[in-house]
Amino acid sequence: MGRKKIALIGAGNIGGTLAHLALIRGLGDVVLFDVVEGMPQGKALDLLEGGPIDGTDAAIIGTNEYKDIAGADVCIVTAGLPRKPGMSRDDLLATNSKIMRSVSEGIKKYAPDAFVIVVANPLDAMVTLCKRETGLPKNRVVGMAGVLDSSRYRAFLAAEAKVSVQSVQALVFGGHGDDMVPVRSTCTIGGAPVTNFISEERLAAIEERTRKAGGEIVALLKTGSAFYSPATAAIQMAEAYLLDKKQVLPCAAYLEGEYGYSGFYLGVPAQIGAGGIERILELKLTADEKKALDVSAEHVKELVAAMDKVLAG
């Protein structure tokens, strides 16, 4: 059988963190790919040299050649520019679309059987483009956003209620933008509705902070965006696939009728196992939540239309 192979397309802040997480979690051999000469090779060597301490025997290489991702079981795509202060995720559309086209070509040629997790922003457009350009089926191309956004929501709720993060469940649906939908009706603390513990006013403030959490970090870092939590989120999705966990996670999944939407990606609860996106779970939403999801879905469709315009040149 041998070890699984995880190809990280983009070896920047998130890519490098992904490589470290994959190795210390023992998920398999790792290939760090980037267009910058030397950087993926240097990061790979650095990670290799830490192996004896963690007892990591997995192979880790850095490369500037797509042929080295051949046969990857999982590809995690972070290739693309991150935001700078004052930028929206949508501002990255033109540049990152061109990058995603070249990345998709590499995956199609060398790792056509992989489970592809797209991270690059603007996420909902990039995952759409990746599926289109690779031609891979919808169960094997997924976007990472909801796991991160839901984790942010849970972190803020846990801090407010002064409980363990493990006692807080919460989901964020929709696009990965300021109109994402923290779904309050899914929130529980210790299994009980969150409204038993946190006031309406504080919940509204926490949900607004969740929507803007990415921008809050960009403003603080000034030189880029969040990378530890996005990497942790993406590796959870990869682990669910590689270990056939059948874990229900909020992901940007391709919809064909679920929640009344068709023909585009949107953040919804999806079961991830060895079959990739094995099924989408349709939860009952309140009227307000469904209305907010409709708004977010419209924004995703507008974003994809804007991308198509850019690509049409």
Tokens of 235: 């590796």
Number of shown-chain residues binding ligand TXD (CB under 6 A):
34
Single residue of 6, 7, 8, 9 touching ligand TXD by CB under 6 A: 9
Name the 3-class secondary structure at 182.
strand
Tokens of 280: 């989408």
Query: Residue 177's CB: how many other CB atoms inside 10 A?
Result: 21
Query: Residue 80's CB: how many other CB atoms inside 10 A?
Result: 24
Query: Residue 223's CB: how many other CB atoms inside 10 A?
Result: 9
Under rule CB under 6 A, residue 225 binds ligand TXD: yes
Three-class SS of 102-159:
HHHHHHHHHCCCCEEEECCCCHHHHHHHHHHHHCCCHHHEEECCHHHHHHHHHHHHHH
Closest CA to 5 of 111, 97, 98: 111
Under rule CB under 6 A, residue 34 binds ligand TXD: yes
Scan residues 55-84 and list those touching ligand TXD (CB under 6 A): 78-83
Shortest spacing between CB 99 and ligand TXD, in angstroms = 4
Known catalytic residue at 176 = yes
Scan residues 161-200 and list those touching ligand TXD (CB under 6 A): 176
Single residue of 32, 103, 206, 297 touching ligand TXD by CB under 6 A: 103
Nearer to ligand TXD by Cβ, of 102 and 199: the residue is 102
Single residue of 119, 157, 183, 270 touching ligand TXD by CB under 6 A: 119
| Distance of alpha carbon 176 from alpha carbon 23, whole angstroms | 28
Single residue of 25, 26, 35, 112 touching ligand TXD by CB under 6 A: 35
Dihedral sign for Cα atoms in the order 151, 154, 160, 164: negative
Under rule CB under 6 A, residue 121 binds ligand TXD: yes
The window from 140-148, 163-171, 262-270, 293-301 that contacts ligand TXD (CB under 6 A) reads: 140-148
Nearer to ligand TXD by Cβ, of 26 and 224: the residue is 224
Shortest spacing between CB 263 and ligand TXD, in angstroms = 21
Collect all residues with Cβ–Cβ distance below 8 Å to 194 and sequence separation of at least 6: 157, 161, 168, 170, 184, 187, 188, 203
Q: Which candidate in 5, 152, 176, 211 is catalytic?
A: 176
Binding site for ligand TXD (CB under 6 A): 9-15, 34-36, 78-83, 92, 96, 99, 102-103, 119-121, 123, 144-145, 148, 176, 224-227, 230
The set of catalytic residues is 176
